[in-house]
Structure 1
């Protein structure tokens, strides 16, 4: 089967934007052109890729699977195009970094901005994603440096592991705030806002309650620490949260306490074994490691 890149690019744009009009504007081609490319792709693959709903194109399950494969290809060519522009404009280099969402709302933008102050001609490519996708991006060369949660899925990285201690966030007016340290016994049947059951913090918190012989009540399941904290701020329960999300939230409405036994998160700063880092990448890699080390459990005593 010979699929053309333009067909995949049109499909990718429609999934991301949701309308043919928006996809056409993004790619700079006509709406009929986009529709024709999509029709060609569906005909060649013999798959129905979209359903129409209230003026939008809703991807079918088959489209969702295809998108996961196409996403890396399309973004990869975008990076190639950006690299060509950088060379044409004699840019000083491109910083290519990816991190999980927990680091993307405060720490990484501030760190990159500080790093860029003395490098005004540096171009920056930064994305936040789930850790498995970040590993794929670094392995394929789309990004030089990645920060991800353990475990590592591939044996393709040079990795520096950093263990970070989480804290328990509780509503500001909660009676639990009178305690200096909170334990499973003190939190029996207290409603918890939690990450999904596959997340490391979920498993380790569940284990702590099980070992203590105490009932653990989970009320809300979500997929971002920022969401966990938002529910805590609304008074819906308590939540185990990473220090990055806590340090860069300025809305208030919560307090934190250590949780015992300690629930650690294991992060890795990864680079590809197959490709040496650029000079710019090496400099940022050192800066990033030094910053993350201040959050390490050992550094916090």
Structure 2
């Protein structure tokens, strides 16, 4: 988001951009009611006044404290996490329920020590050595530091991000330009992710 906002402001001097972080349900609600021009959120059902587009799908990563016993593994599976403390996503997060199903199928029990809605805050707690977390790789990559390591989680756990626009009003030139920048940045991320793989 910082790169996108920066590029947008350079192209449109004098414009004021307001960026707010809310729960997915709140983002969908704000877009549906026309209170914001563009939204980014996880998929939700039941919002008829929103035009949604799948912006991108990423594969969740396991974030570990830098000195964790699993730090040298190439990837992390459910069995590796048996008994480990977890900083979990909020109960309403779609990928949390899918992750818990994976644990159930593998008959693996973990210890949830905290439930935190936002990935960045979960990464911060991992950096403090409080446990592992399963997060969106984009956020984890931006938070990567000497205190955490990122590992692919297997089996694949996809996290979808939707681009949302209000369907009850015309789109402004600026809103459409912002959406184009989001799509371009997403395409660049996918390209760089393929190169790194």
- The TM-score normalised by the length of structure 2 is 0.89
Q: Superposition pairs for residues 1-301 of structure 1, below 5 Å? A: 108-161=1-54, 162-249=56-143, 251-295=145-189, 300=194
Shift of the alpha carbon at 1:184?
A: 0.9
Structure 2 gap segments, 5+ residues each: none
CA RMSD of aligned residues (A): 2.0
Task: Please tell me whether the aligned partners of residues 139 and 272 of structure 1 are also in contact (alpha carbons under 8 angstroms).
Answer: yes
5+ long unaligned stretches in structure 1: 1-107
- Quote the offset at 1:295 in angstroms: 4.7
Q: 1:118-163: CA deviations, max 9, x gaps? A: 2212222322211111112112222111111111431222211132
- Inter-partner Cα distance in structure 2 for 1:124 and 1:254: 32
Larger radius of gyration: 1
What CA deviation, in whole Å up to 9, does each residue of 1:249-279 have, x standing for no partner? 2543000100101122122101122212111
Q: State the 1:110 CA deviation.
A: 2.6
Higher relative contact order (CA 8 A, sep 6+): 2
Distance 1:154 1:248, change over 3 A: same
Contact 1:135/1:153, CA 8 A, preserved across alignment:
no
> C-alpha distance in 2, partners of 1:135/1:203?
20
* Distance in 1 separating the partners of 2:148 and 2:69: 12
How has the CA–CA distance of structure 1 residues 123 and 221 changed in structure 2, closer, same or farther, with 3 Å as cutoff? closer
Deviation at 1:196, TM superposition (A): 2.0
The structure with the largest helix share of the pair is: 1
Using the alignment, how far apart are the partners of 1:208 and 1:143 within structure 2? 36
